[in-house]
A and B are shown apart, each in its own frame.
Chain A
Amino acid sequence: MAEKNIIEVSHLSKTFGDFTAVKDISFSVRAGERFAFLGPNGAGKSTTIKMLTTLLTPSQGSILIDGHNPVGDADAARHSFGIVFQDPSLDDDLTAWENMEFHGVLYNVARPLRRERIEELLRFVDLYERKDNYVREFSGGMKRRLEIARGLLHHPRIIFLDEPTLGLDPQTRNHMWQYLERLNRDEGITVFFTTHYMEEADKVAERIAIIDHGTIIAMGSGEELKKKTKTSSLEEAFLKLTGSAIREEEAGSVDHLRNMGRAWGRR
């Protein structure tokens, strides 16, 4: 396999006001690699992914995505990746099929292939029977599955998945990773993901970065991390590295906004 780095990050920082969410991190990911970002809530994983995917501009440092700078050359960078967001990102007023179709058209997937893949993916996440239902009628798990299916619709060079499996049952999780591993193997798609399920990271990722308080505190394969911390599971290694204090997830801003939306009587 070509030893080319498809993601290059050096001295990347992001500050919000006087709070530093990401502090001077550097790492690279090889083309075709499966790379995991692990870290407690609020560690800065999503912030990093947002900078990599043009949604936030870095305060400092540089990024190359498939050779393109997401700041100066956002459009070229956007051609290289697909992303499954941590927060909801579906249009509730469209059907499952229409959400897929919208994505496929935006990403220029040719019509016959689009049809074929949408059908295949909707069957894959077990939503084909519900394809004409509005997304607002879906449960949280169904929405999540649809988002994953959508993220896989175009086959980008890199796919970012921010806690993709949160709230999914083990069957679906398993299923999804199999699909991703197949894409990774057959099409050489680079997989960059975050998760709170350690066994998932250990099984899927070739290399893992552990991030806490905005800095990368350890990086290596699952085996290397275990060896380094003299532990027998990734979970123990993770706890040893990050300590066992519990972190609060930032108060669900989306929930707050949703309630506001209702108050405004949107429908």
Chain B
Amino acid sequence: MYIMWLREMKRFLRSKSRIVGALGQPLLYFLSLGYGLGAVFQAAGRGNYIEFLAPGIIGMSIIFTSIFNGMQVIWDRQFGFLKETLVAPVSRLAIMLGRTFGGATVAALQGCLVFIIMIPAGFRPYDWALVVPAILVMFLVATLFSGLGMMVASLLRDMQGFQLIMNFLVMPLFFLSGALFPLQGAPTALQDVAYIDPLSYGIDGMRSLLINTSNYSLGIDVAVLVGIAALFIILGSYFFSKIQV
């Protein structure tokens, strides 16, 4: 299990250009939306948009990175390496856990990097001591979506489905999670959708730790994240055990 994790880490640390590249998009969202809509947000009496947005942007970078990492399974299948893992006398659950935590560590690190570059851009957490538990929430979110990515990837044969997944799964999960706007006061339909979007709980958890506002509550957030992550991992290892090459 550890070796699976180690492999993900090595691959991550070696792809410097990808790390930097993956910082561009969140930063762009943060600066343009944050400063572009900041005044409107303030005028509507909702407070500081930069602060509000920052956890959402961290969540965005985590969901993209972790789903992408989970989907790495498809690459392994195409480049043949997956066979090497599949014939190994290791339980499918251990494979799933090792890879999921590997992908999750990578995504959480990416989330931390986004956090760091947002500081010079104007973001201040309300209590620095709570940054550590916030990172734990990041890791939970990352675990959940790595698990989802792997689960989906176990069901796909090639990269053709990837666009589909991005457009019809990842994008909606992100946009409907309340990452960019407050759910309080949003139309009920939107609130209901956010209610079944696991990312909502992740971002809510980070908000409650980083800027001390919360829609659900930290306890519920963590419980939901843990439960769904476990579900995805279990389902994922089942689908993984069904892969044929």
Q: How many residues of A contact B (CB 8 A)?
A: 37
Show 29 A/B contacts (Cβ-Cβ < 8 Å), sorted by A.
A50-B245, A53-B87, A54-B87, A56-B245, A75-B89, A78-B88, A78-B89, A79-B89, A85-B84, A87-B80, A89-B80, A90-B80, A90-B81, A91-B7, A92-B79, A93-B14, A94-B7, A94-B10, A101-B3, A106-B3, A108-B89, A254-B80, A258-B78, A258-B79, A260-B159, A261-B75, A261-B79, A261-B159, A266-B75
Please name the residue on chain B nearest to A260 by beta carbon: B159
Q: Is A155 on the interface with B (CB-CB < 8 A)?
A: no
Q: Is A83 on the interface with B (CB-CB < 8 A)?
A: yes
Residues of A close to B85: CB separation below 8 A: 106
Residues of B close to A91: CB separation below 8 A: 7, 76, 79, 81, 84
Q: In the complex the two chains form, is A54's CB within 8 Å of B86's CB?
A: yes
Residues of A close to B79: CB separation below 8 A: 88, 91-92, 257-258, 261
Please name the residue on chain B nearest to A150 by beta carbon: B84
Partner of B15, one of A74, A89, A257, A267: A267
Q: In the complex the two chains form, is A93's CB within 8 Å of B11's CB?
A: yes
Q: In the complex the two chains form, is B244's CB within 8 Å of A89's CB?
A: no
Q: Is B129 on the interface with A (CB-CB < 8 A)?
A: no
Q: In the complex the two chains form, is A106's CB within 8 Å of B80's CB?
A: no
Q: Is B83 on the interface with A (CB-CB < 8 A)?
A: yes
**Smallest beta-carbon distance A100→chain B, Å:** 11
B residues 83-120 with Cβ under 8 Å of A? 83-91
For chain B, which range describes its interface: under 10, 10 to 19, 20 to 34, or 35 or more residues? Answer: 20 to 34
Q: Bits for A45-76, please: 1 = Cβ < 8 Å to B, else 0.
A: 00000100111110000000000000000110
Residues on B lying within 8 angstroms of A by beta carbon are 2-3, 7, 10-11, 14-15, 75-76, 78-81, 83-91, 158-159, 241, 244-245
Please name the residue on chain B nearest to A56 by beta carbon: B244
Partner of A55, one of B75, B83, B89, B159: B83
Q: A85-B83, A87-B83, A261-B159 are in contact. List 5 more A-B contacts (CB 8 A).
A: A54-B86, A55-B83, A55-B244, A90-B80, A106-B88
Q: In the complex the two chains form, is A102's CB within 8 Å of B3's CB?
A: yes
**Smallest beta-carbon distance B98→chain A, Å:** 10
**Smallest beta-carbon distance B88→chain A, Å:** 4
